Amino acid sequence: MQQNAFLRLRFDDHGNRRLMCGNDRSDGSAGMLELKEVSRRINGVDHLAGISMRIESGVMNVLLGPARAGKTSLMRAMAGLDRPGSGEIWFNGVNVTGTPVARRNVAMVYQQFINYPGWTVRENIASPLKVKRTPAAEIERDVQRVAELLRLTPYLDRKPLELSGGQQQRVAMARAIVKKAGLVLLDEPLANLDYKLREELRAELPRLFADSGAVVVYATTEPLEALLLGGMTATMSEGRVTQFGPSHQVYRAPADLITAETYSDPPLNVFPVAAAARPARFPGAAMLAVRPHHVRLSPKSGEADAYAAKVLSMETNGSETFVHLRVGDARWVMLTHGVHAFEIGSALTVHVESGDVMSFDSAGRALALTARAA
């Protein structure tokens, strides 16, 4: 396919004619975004480093990592807002590296909501449809549908500045949904919403985009959100993708210690193999790690290892208790169901099943789960 066949005449948000890259994918056909060794270095710092990924439509594709891991930088490169220093970006079989965002059919929602302040909510949501000269009846139908979904129906005739921050963010999301873009980039879009709506939309978003044919990429700092969204997850650290695969597979079988730490909240309990109750159980390991919910007050089996701990502090959220412990020279967190009260400074014995321990070599690479020495 020649690149010229991929460029089509469209109108931008100001009514100007432009050659646009991509298509609406409103027919449900599959889309594909491919990154080939994409890197970007600014003032000697790697914002992106050698990222290669094939991202498909039909599922949620999640970028998971802490702040400054490179998630937004990667999305900006995907959108065409920033050009990679090296490498290529392909969309639906066409090299779009360097093609500016104005010539791509991309929808992007940031954590910081962006709306047209002089327009009503209805006009904001409808704007991408009007640019495409969609029939008025279809515009009204789509606006009403997405407004109902995002609880915006009572506010359609208001201006964005008359709304709360969470409501304004929902307007930005609604505009992205109705646009039916070939590439949808969601940069922590639920962060400013109230808890109940955030939970509802987490469940709803995958369904909204499942049949659109759009490639959907969602950035988050929250491991639980990545698991709830399902689909595929790319864990990121310092501008690199450390692992990319089905979300639950990446969570259950992290390729290295960095990925395991990225995909753990509360923080992973990490300690040297020498501090293990029975180090011989983990041949070849240099470091061990156990997730907080695998630290138990009572053994699950007769093969569990016991660790002497000291209670440092506790947090309770009503149904779970987070107990911060000192185990040897390391700080651990135990996540236990129910409300528990332990005296600060008291001694406590906790238990860990050997099968719940992740082991890593001296380079931080995960060791295969094999039969361990007794």
Q: What is the dihedral of CA 334, 335, 338, 340, to 10 degrees?
A: 20
What is the mean pLDDT of the segment spanning 328-338?
95
Please report which confidence band the pLDDT of residue 371 belongs to, taking 50, 70 and 90 as the band edges.
very low
Please report which confidence band the pLDDT of residue 369 belongs to, taking 50, 70 and 90 as the band edges.
low
Counting DSSP H helices and E strands in the chain, the numbers are: 8, 19
d(CA 352, CA 109): 42
Q: What pLDDT is recorded for position 313?
A: 96
Residue extent(s) of CATH 2.40.50.140 domains in the chain: 266-360
What is the mean pLDDT of the segment spanning 38-51?
94
| Span 120-141, pLDDT tens digits | 999 999 999 998 899 999 999 9
Instruction: Report the CATH fold assignment for 266-360.
Output: OB fold (Dihydrolipoamide Acetyltransferase, E2P) (2.40.50)
Residue extent(s) of CATH 3.40.50.300 domains in the chain: 3-254
Q: What pLDDT is recorded for position 130?
A: 93
Please report which confidence band the pLDDT of residue 31 belongs to, taking 50, 70 and 90 as the band edges.
confident
| Span 67-125, pLDDT tens digits | 999 999 999 999 999 999 999 999 999 999 989 888 888 998 887 777 889 999 999 99
d(CA 191, CA 227): 16
Class of domain 3-254: alpha beta
- Judge residue 245's burial from the number of C-beta atoms within 10 Å of its C-beta, 0-12 exposed, 13-18 middle, 19 or more buried: middle
Contact 295, 309 (CB under 8 A): no
| Span 278-306, pLDDT tens digits | 999 999 999 999 999 999 999 999 999 99
Q: Of the given ranges (240-249, 288-297, 360-369), which has the lowest mean pLDDT?
A: 360-369
Candidates 77, 79, 22; CA nearest to 50 is 77
| Span 249-285, pLDDT tens digits | 999 999 999 999 999 999 999 999 999 999 999 999 9
